[in-house]
Structure 1
């Protein structure tokens, strides 16, 4: 048996009601898979969605939570986990596999003493980053990297708007874009959150919904209903809106007249490829970037981290340690 934080069952209305902390069976290691002894694992909104029963079948419970992690293999190699699990034999962009899954949807997650993943789902941990910092890379930072450089194809000198300023993806977007020579604007609900964005490299910050001084080349969305209209109105003609999340709901007005008249591009983005994770790590090393960590807790105190995320009390990534 091993220590783990897991979901016992789905609860759409009270997600943390199904959160349990205790012992789970040690995982077996199939051929072609490897065991990672987890040193640190980061919390994502995906974990709250799992507790609500989104993206997971009822018969998959109990499910150890956690998409992201960093740790060591049985031979002592230090690694970062790429959480996108592909169907056997899939070739090409891992995020486009129609049968892809993430850890915690079908396979047990990283909030445990150990996790098993396909051997292609680990990459070398950068020596410059701690295990805590490395644990932030697989979902939030990889998502931000793909949104910026693959989907939006942002160039140095352009101006972008990041909706939000304190969540894991938002802080990653701000740090990555500013390091790449992009002018970064960010919105935030509180003065403290806007101040954090400035510290991370945002060139200007605004209260949520504020009309901007000028329209931007790209907007990055993880919020959804609450900010969608503002995002579309903030784009220059031909600009790109890249969306990777809908924390306030997934049913915004499409405002299709604005989309077609201004020839706006609306692009979805989900996670990133293994190669993009390698490229992200290289970028962080080249620019001496350290992921913003807002809260670090030992795994037995994970419930406090879930509560902080559920209440929106974030200032970067929430990471659990072993």
Structure 2
């Protein structure tokens, strides 16, 4: 069938995003056709558009992992869903039959593929997905808010809950509080009883983060966040955990901001992939450095009721039409957003 989409046929700047009519397949066995109503941006969209050396592109390529919409058609044997049902999509697919998938660790499946990265994504009016990717819809949220939920909350949940194992009484440092992952991490850490310190490059972003539960804010353009963290934790103790996705020097200094026996959990490196680390600060102080990518579909099922109950809420900076995807990319690249930039699909 034909549908309209924003695609890239080459890597480069935002201008490579173009509107086209494309062919997509009919839903096959245990697949569903989803009419997309909103798709949220993530930094992976920027990296994919610019070009990643390890990715084999299948042009025309569609970006977009965070998708909300309605089921338009069912393939043979599709389970657990009906035509017209409002849905969120889990943002990645896996084989579903390996030991990792069957153990609830589908994000460690050797065939794990994220929408918009190593498989086609949601910058379109329609997408065909496995029925296993269909998630319950979070209450009465509008599509543009629901689409801001899956990837960043899944990522933050795994970082805060599974990897850092944050518990009541812990102190957590969240880097770059204006990002989607960080706005989610603040709320999840508070939900688990932690005191949360956050960094940002502006007082405005820190003020907005305090509305989400941030206890203390540090403007890294006017203060050394390591020194400030030591002051805020008393006796130069440091924090129990750092939630980090910036990389570069911020990652290096995050290790210094951690208490003896604490941990740094990282899920990205927007400011640099190759920091220079003094390993003595890791082994002598017994700091754990933990990598984290996405999370399990089961975690998403556990989280969605928290949105319906108002215990978590998506943070949307602005909504633009899908056909303004290039403008949306510029907003994200220039770090003008607090929370998510969402594309509405007419």
CA shift for structure 1 position 251: 0.5
Other-structure match for 2:209: 197
Per-residue displacement from partner, 1:5-56 (whole Å, max 9, x unpaired)? 1121123xxx324222232223332212111111111000011111122276
CA shift for structure 1 position 59: 4.5
Structure 2 counterparts to residues 6-25 of structure 1, below 5 A: 6-11=7-12, 15-25=13-23
Q: Which runs of 5+ in 2 are unaligned?
A: 73-82
Using the size of structure 1 for normalisation, the TM-score is: 0.94
CA shift for structure 1 position 107: 2.4
Pair 1:241 & 2:242 matched: no
2-structure distance, mates of 1:309, 1:262 = 36
Structure 2 counterparts to residues 87-102 of structure 1, below 5 A: 87=95, 89-90=97-98, 91=101, 92=103, 93-102=105-114
Does the residue aligned with 1:60 lie in a helix, a strand or coil?
A: coil
Does the residue aligned with 2:317 lie in a helix, a strand or coil?
A: strand
Match of 2:164 among 152, 159, 173: 152
C-alpha change, 1:297 and 1:280, in structure 2 (3 Å) is: same
1-structure distance, mates of 2:48, 2:308 = 32
Match of 1:80 among 85, 88, 101: 88
Other-structure match for 1:307: 330
Contact persistence 2:246–2:269 (CA under 8 A): yes
Does the residue aligned with 2:289 lie in a helix, a strand or coil?
A: strand
Match of 1:54 among 46, 52, 69: 52
Other-structure match for 1:140: 152
Per-residue displacement from partner, 1:243-291 (whole Å, max 9, x unpaired)? 0010011101232111001111111111111100011112333443321
| Structure 1 stretch displaced more, 129-138 or 186-195 | 129-138
Q: How many residues are aligned here?
A: 319
Contact persistence 1:174–1:184 (CA under 8 A): yes
Does the residue aligned with 2:318 lie in a helix, a strand or coil?
A: strand
Using the size of structure 2 for normalisation, the TM-score is: 0.88
2-structure distance, mates of 1:182, 1:274 = 25
Contact persistence 1:56–1:106 (CA under 8 A): no
Does the residue aligned with 2:29 lie in a helix, a strand or coil?
A: coil
1-structure distance, mates of 2:213, 2:156 = 15
Match of 1:293 among 299, 307, 316: 316
Match of 2:284 among 244, 257, 261: 261
Other-structure match for 1:5: 6
Pair 1:206 & 2:214 matched: no
Q: Give runs of ≥4 in structure 1 deviating > 4 Å.
A: none
2-structure distance, mates of 1:186, 1:59 = 37
Per-residue displacement from partner, 1:131-190 (whole Å, max 9, x unpaired)? 112111221111011111111110022110001111110111112222332111000011
Q: Which runs of 5+ in 1 are unaligned?
A: none
Question: Which structure is larger by alpha-carbon Rg, 1 or 2?
Answer: 2
Per-residue displacement from partner, 1:47-96 (whole Å, max 9, x unpaired)? 11111222764441211110111111120111111122113633331111
Does the residue aligned with 2:139 lie in a helix, a strand or coil?
A: coil
1-structure distance, mates of 2:327, 2:51 = 20
Contact persistence 2:95–2:111 (CA under 8 A): yes
Structure 2 counterparts to residues 17-56 of structure 1, below 5 A: 17-54=15-52
